[in-house]
Amino acid sequence: MDQVTTIEAFTATLKRDLLVAYKRKNDIFNPFMFFLIVCSLFPIGISPDPARLGEIASGVLWISALLASLLAMDSLYRNDFEDGSLEQLLLSPHPLYFLVLAKNMAHWLVSGLPVVIVSPLVAYMLSLPDDAYWVMFLTLLLGTPILSLLGSIGVALTVGLGSRGLILAVITLPMSVPVLIAGTLTVQEALNGASLSGYMAVLGAMFFGSLTLAPLASATALRISVT
């Protein structure tokens, strides 16, 4: 299969998933609203004191983003599995790696990008110091695609199971913890005035590593789960 045909298949898969998500608006609003609700509950449950909120703001944002990503993850392959289109995807002559990558990209654009866009506003609500806004935004911009790519592996492994919520969380959360730690540490070091080059390099390495390996692992897991 030549390169042009593969690119066309990638683009068609991306457009198709975005169109399906647009028609099923709950897939867009549920993770976004869940993120906002979780972040809003922390000032109520802990303390409305700006100084105290500023100390935990980065952790709150990252944990909320992780939980929102996990909430949205179950729909990644579920509908395709139920209507049989996932089997057609596996039978496609195009490399499954690129088709899975297109689905992951569409999923992040729908569920992850809105969280990243609204994060500065939520950071302001949580009294995060102004100097850390851009760092928070950049870490989430790098980190949320990693969460989607890693979560895709867990979804692919459990797509054939009837009840998979707890199993999906058990598989996905351990892989996501290093991303959570790296993201929060980067923001905390920005508040301390330290150099961020090393921390951003770690996040960048995680991003490119997951971008390279996660779709391959997801494609293999799909072949095992569906066949």
Q: What's the mean per-residue pLDDT of the chain?
A: 83
pLDDT per position as a tens digit, 36-48? 888 888 888 877 7
Dihedral class, residue 127 (left if φ above 0, else alpha if ψ from -120 to 50, else beta): left
The least confident of 13-17, 91-95, 179-183 is 91-95
For residue 146, is pLDDT > 90? Answer: yes
Confidence (pLDDT) at 163: 60
For residue 1, is pLDDT > 50? Answer: no
Provide φ and ψ at 46, rounded to 5°: -105, -70
For residue 143, is pLDDT > 80? Answer: yes
pLDDT per position as a tens digit, 45-73? 877 778 888 888 888 899 888 888 888 78
The whole-angstrom separation of Cα 154 and Cα 26 is 22
Confidence (pLDDT) at 144: 92
